[in-house]
Structures are given as C-alpha cells and as structure tokens.
Amino acid sequence: MKGNENAINTANNSLISINGLKKYYNGEKVKALDGVNMEIKKGEVVVIIGPSGSGKSTFLRSLNLLEIPTEGKIIFDGVDITDPKTNINLHRRKMGMVFQHFNLFANMNILKNMTIAPMKLLNKSKEEAEKNALNLLNRVGLEDRASAFPSQLSGGQKQRVAIVRALCMEPEVMLFDEPTSALDPEMVGEVLDVMKALAAEGMTMAVVTHEMGFAKEVATRVVFMDAGKILEQGTPDEIFTNPQNPRLKDFLSKVLT
C-alpha cells in the first residue's frame, strides 16, 4: 500500500501530494478546509490566492502539521505525514516555513537564530553552521547584522532573516504565509526580491500572498481557494487573463483594481 503510493509519487515527480484534506473547527461548524487535493512537484512555485477566511493559512499550516487535519492525507517525500506513527519533526526539517509575523526567536541574536537548528538537529559544528549562516546573510545583504537581536531590525530585515533561517536547514520546500502582509509598503520589495531569487534557483515553494504582481511574475501555478475548497487553478496567465469561476472573477476584480 505504502510502497504503491511511493511508486506513484516518484513516477509523476510529486514532492507533496495532498488528498482529500479537511480541517474542521468546533466540531463541524467551521470547515476551514473542505476537501483539498493538490500535487506540488519539485521546483514548482505554487501561489495560493483567495479571500480572507478562505482557508489559505490553514492549508499551508496543514502541510507541516502545524494544523492537524481532520481528514485526508499528505504524502511528502513518499511518506504519509498525517499517519500518527510518522515522526513529524523529521519531516518539518525539510519544510521551511516563513510566517507573516516573522517569528524570529526573540531571545537569540540573528546568527544564533540561524545556527541553533542546524547545530542541534543536523549536528553541524558551530563553525560550519555559522559559515553557512553568514553566507546566507550575505546573500540577503544582512551580514553586518549577524550579532543584532530581532528587536533591532526593521520588518523587512526580519523577514529576510526569517527566510534564510529556514534555508539554513536546507529544506526541500519553502512555505510562505503572507510573508509581506505585515510589512510597511516600502519593505515589501526587498522581501519579494529574496523570494524571487529563491524561486529562480529552483526552490519548491508554496506561497500564500495578496501580491498579485508576484503571482504573475513568479508562480508556475496559481491556486484560487474559497470557502475551504480549490475552485480554480492554472498558470498565472490562465488565472489572471482568462478566469472561469465567477468567484475568482469577482475576487480578481476586487484585488486587481
């Protein structure tokens, strides 16, 4: 059974495959996710759009089990991570997550933020972890802030650090939940640039965002969610220039004006 799934996954090159994913709150009152199916292939940049409360965050957070699905399966790297017997901690190492509010560890400086996980979880030496962290900081133009504490950085800087902190674990996929929504407008660009560079390097990404420009430019696929369901998906071109679903049309007419 499990072997079978593995075979299918490798056959169609799927990194994450989501099957009938449901998440209910308060019994069955709130259906945050109401049967979502999706395949995410290696190197894909999937951008998830949809109105507020449509279940985008819940979907993304389910992928690394920050939310435990009520029903459904998530196969990551050929392993069913929704199986209670799976050690989720091992799989989370391979899924980087970037949050709306950055969530840098407030009790550690930037360098420590970036080295603690590789050192404690991947048994990297301090030297190796720091070298890698400084390299990454360099790439996002923040090498001079290595010894600063998160409270001393601007929002844009924090988010750039949050991205490279996740990269320090050398993840196979990066999940972004509205990474620019908490930023002042003038800082949105610097964070999107980092994400674009990451996409260009071939990182597999799932991004929830309201930045339609980013979706058009970077997405390999755009997914429209509403009321816990995927109503439409396609290339940016299909979604933005030739939407089919009336709800998507309505949504786009609101966000693209």
Partner 1 sequence: MFDELRDKIMLCFIDNGYWEWLVEGFLHTVLITVFAVLLGLVFGVILAAVRSSYDKNEETLKLRGGIGYYLLKFFNAVCKIYITVIRGVPVVVQLMIWYFVILVSSKSDIAVAVIAFGFNSAAYVAEIFRGGIMSIDNGQFEAGRSLGFNYVQTMAYVVIPQTVKAVLPTLLNEIIALLKETSIAGYVGIMDLTKAGDLIRGRTFEAFIPLIAVAIIYLITVVVLTRVFTAVERRLRRNER
Q: Does 57 bind Mg ion (CB under 5 A)?
A: yes
Q: Does 64 bind Mg ion (CB under 5 A)?
A: no
- Provide, rounded to whole angstroms, the least separation between the CB of residue 216 and partner 1: 28
* Alpha helices, H only, 54-211: 56-63, 88-92, 110-121, 126-139, 155-167, 185-200
Residue type, 88: I
- 73: number of CA atoms within 13 Å, CB side? 12
Q: Cα–Cα distance between 252 and 178 in angstroms, integer? A: 17
**What backbone torsions phi and psi does residue 191 show, to the nearest 5 degrees?**
-75, -45
Cβ contact 182:225 at 8 Å: no
- CB-wise, 12 or 151, nearer to partner 1? 151
Q: Does 55 bind ligand ATP (CB under 6 A)?
A: yes
Q: Which residues are within 8 A (CB) of 48 and not within 5 positions of it... i.e. 6 or more apart?
A: 56, 59, 60, 206, 207, 208, 209, 222, 223, 225
Per-residue mark of binding to partner 1, 152-181 (x: CB under 8 A): x---------x--xx--x------------
Q: Does 182 bind partner 1 (CB under 8 A)?
A: no
Helix (H, G, I), strand (E, B) or coil at 68: coil
Count residues near ligand ATP (CB under 6 A): 11
Q: Does 243 bind ligand ATP (CB under 6 A)?
A: no
Q: Does 14 bind Mg ion (CB under 5 A)?
A: no
Residue of 4, 12, 52, 123 interacting with ligand ATP (CB under 6 A): 52
Q: Does 90 bind partner 1 (CB under 8 A)?
A: yes
Chain positions contacting partner 1, by CB under 8 A: 64, 66, 68, 70, 84, 89-90, 92-93, 95-97, 99, 101-109, 116-117, 120-121, 149, 151-152, 162, 165-166, 169
Chain positions contacting ligand ATP, by CB under 6 A: 25, 30, 32, 50, 52-58
